[in-house]
Amino acid sequence: MQVRPRGCPVLRQLEGSAAVAETVGLCRPEVVCAYPISPQTHIVEGLSDLVREGRLGSCEYVTVESEFAALSVCIGASATGARTYTATASQGLLYMAEALYNASGLGLPIVMTVANRAIGAPINIWNDHSDAMSQRDCGWIQLYAEDNQEAADLHVQAFSLAERLSLPVMVCMDGFVLTHAYERVDLPTAEQVDAFLPPFEPRQVLDPADPVTIGAMVGPEAFAEVKYLAHAKQMQALDAIPEVAAEFELAFGRPSGGLVRGYRAEDAETIVIGLGSVLGTIEDTVDELREEGVKIGALAIKSFRPFPLEEVRAALVSAKRVVVLEKALAVGIGGIVSSNVRMALSGIDLHGYTVIAGLGGRPITRRSLRALFERAIEDRLEPLTFLDLDRERVEAELERMAGGGRSGPHAENILRESGIVGARSH
């Protein structure tokens, strides 16, 4: 971590993780607790450095034996009134699952970076959104960053949102694609962040001077009400997210965050929906097609939880078709984001296409997207498409299974067929 002069914003060429670590540091966390998992590691290493360099005052950096413990430490710290931060990805997020629901159920304003990564098996360290999507219903606000500037900015907004609503917030940034990418980032100053983010005033706190019981057992007589309150707070977040984003823009002079962001979508007949860093490639492809006179646009969903039904509906109401590009798969049905988008479309007559893309880090190229969009425009797309799927390999494996007997592990079979694993032959 470099030391930079206080007081003036500095444009720097920074790794995404470093930008996030610096920005989280500027938010003055009091307890940081994390367990290492790629591609989250550089973020928490950065914070560990900041703590050891004494740049975060009395902030405690706690190293733990699992992600389950990491979030549990955060729960204890947040309930004791400390501004609390953690980060994870993939398997780590799943290992936290029980504690994720607990943190939101208790209404603890913890902020967490999710460096989005695939979930095994087969084990895979590369980017997609399977991890965060799997926890879409755990009660955390989920914000998705499109680039490193936004990833950094969203953390400042996340603490503000979390503490206003007493809800935990996940900032999702694409693993490696953003976390390990060097981009120009305009880091705020400590003064700017201090002015934007007042000290944490907890709604509930473990304090011997005023003892409370946090986490009591609740039966049928009140459980639904407590859960409804969690929903009500997320509905409040639908107002708070754009408010915080507007305040942020005013204070820092650049737009970041919000619920959705349209791109050349006003008169578009075809709208492509996506989340996170893939928007860049989508927009480039939109530009290409626009130059050829195609009425196509894009819609970035920035807040997946709460899901901005009204904003999505407003963006799609005049379109003829929507293509939802998803970096996650709901096995057995297809799209996760699509299902949510459809909730926004009641009574609107348009063609809806789900495209599963970029799983396990497979590159989503402009060329593939262009071909995909062209088929969509002609309404020749299947309702569910797997972008760049190698059909031949899949068919071969299905055939092998149909043969009965001990057909072996899929991953090994497919890799062997591709000549990637050559140790054993059939």
Partner 1 sequence: MADSNGQRVRFYQVGSFAAGNRLLDPEQRTVQARMDRSNTLTSGHRACQGCGEALGARYALDAAMRATDGKLIAANATGCLEVFSTPFPESSWQLPWIHSLFGNAPAVASGVAAALRAKGREDVRVVGQGGDGGTVDIGFGCLSGMFERGDDVLYICYDNEAYMNTGVQRSGATPPAARTANTKPIGREHPGNAFGQGKDMPRIAIAHGIPYVATATVADLHDLEHKVEAAMELRGPRYIHVFVPCPLGWGADSADTIKLARLVVESGLFPVFEAAGGEVVGVSKIRRQVPVEEYLKPQRRYAHLFGDPPRADVIERLQAIADANIARYGLLEDASDIDHTRVGSTSDARERG
Residue 213 CB, nearest approach to partner 1 (Å) = 4
Nearer to partner 1, 79 or 299 (CB): 79
Where do the H-state alpha helices sit in 53-183?
A: 67-79, 90-95, 97-106, 130-134, 148-165
Asked if 94 and 68 count as a contact pair (C-beta separation under 8 A), the reply is: no
Nearer to partner 1, 134 or 204 (CB): 204
Handedness of CA 197, 202, 208, 214 (dihedral sign): negative
Residue 50 CB, nearest approach to partner 1 (Å) = 14
Residue 85 CB, nearest approach to partner 1 (Å) = 12
Residue 199 CB, nearest approach to partner 1 (Å) = 11
Q: What are phi and psi of 28, to 5 degrees?
A: 55, 60
Residue type, 393: R
Nearer to partner 1, 18 or 82 (CB): 82
Residue 151 CB, nearest approach to partner 1 (Å) = 25
Nearer to partner 1, 216 or 420 (CB): 216
Residue 211 CB, nearest approach to partner 1 (Å) = 4
**String of b and e for 272-309 (b: at least 16 CB within 10 Å)?**
bbbbbbbbebbbebbeebeeeebbbbbbbbbbbbbbbb
Provide the greatest CA pair distance for the chain: 72
Nearer to partner 1, 210 or 292 (CB): 210
Nearer to partner 1, 221 or 291 (CB): 221
Residue 193 CB, nearest approach to partner 1 (Å) = 18
248's CB contacts (< 8 A; 6+ apart) are 153, 156, 157, 196, 256, 257
Nearer to partner 1, 194 or 243 (CB): 194
Q: At what angle do helices 391-402 and 410-417 cross, to 10 degrees?
A: 130
Return residues touching partner 1 (CB under 8 A): 30-31, 33, 58-60, 62-66, 68-69, 72-82, 84, 98-99, 102, 106, 205-208, 210-219, 221-222
Closest CA to 302 of 315, 284, 286: 315
Q: What are phi and psi of 310, to 5 degrees?
A: -65, -45
